[in-house]
Amino acid sequence: MHPPALSTILSPRSAQLMQKAQELETRFLSEMLAHTGLDAQTGAFNGGIGEDQFASFLREAQAKAMVDRGGLGLAQSIFQNLVRRDDPAT
Inside any domain, residue 35: no
pLDDT of 89 > 70? The answer is: no
Inside any domain, residue 3: no
* Amino acid 6: pLDDT: 57
What average pLDDT does this structure show over 4-18? 78
What is d(CA 60, CA 23) in angstroms, rounded to the nearest whole number? Answer: 10
Inside any domain, residue 24: yes
- The tally of domains found in the chain comes to 1
What is d(CA 6, CA 87) in angstroms, rounded to the nearest whole number? Answer: 20
- Helix ranges (H only) for 1-90 are 6-9, 12-34, 48-68, 74-86
What average pLDDT does this structure show over 30-58? 76
Decide which of 72 and 2 is more confident: 72
What is d(CA 70, CA 77) in angstroms, rounded to the nearest whole number? Answer: 12
Question: Where in the sequence is the domain holding 82, given as residue range(s)?
Answer: 12-30+50-90
Q: What is the pLDDT of residues 64-74, one digit of tens each?
A: 999 999 999 99
